[in-house]
Amino acid sequence: MEELTPKEFKILESLAEHPKQVFSRDHLLNLIWQDHYLGDGRTIDAHIKKLRQKMSVAGPDVIQTVWGVGYKFDDSHVVL
């Protein structure tokens, strides 16, 4: 698996610590950047996309999109 950036790792860690909990883009921005990010909330989408690409070799998508809400971590369908 390709190495994760610090931001990608923090997003994955935040989602994985609370499996099946849905996080909005704004919530993830606040968790990762605190109050230091003034750009577009879609930056989370770009980070999630890269994170999914890097994790694709490990198996099915464990980061799921909840349309209109945000993202969640769900590894219940992963077979070890």
pTM: 0.84
Summarize pLDDT for 45-74 with one digit per residue, the tens.
Answer: 999 999 999 988 766 688 999 999 999 998
Domain count, the chain: 1
Residue 78 lies in a domain: no
Residue type, 42: R
Residue 75 pLDDT grade (very low, low, confident, very high; cuts 50, 70, 90): confident
What residues does 23 pair with on adjacent strands?
Answer: 71
For residue 42, give the CATH number of its domain: 1.10.10.10
Give the residue numbers spanning the domain of 27: 6-73
Secondary structure (3-state) at 58? helix
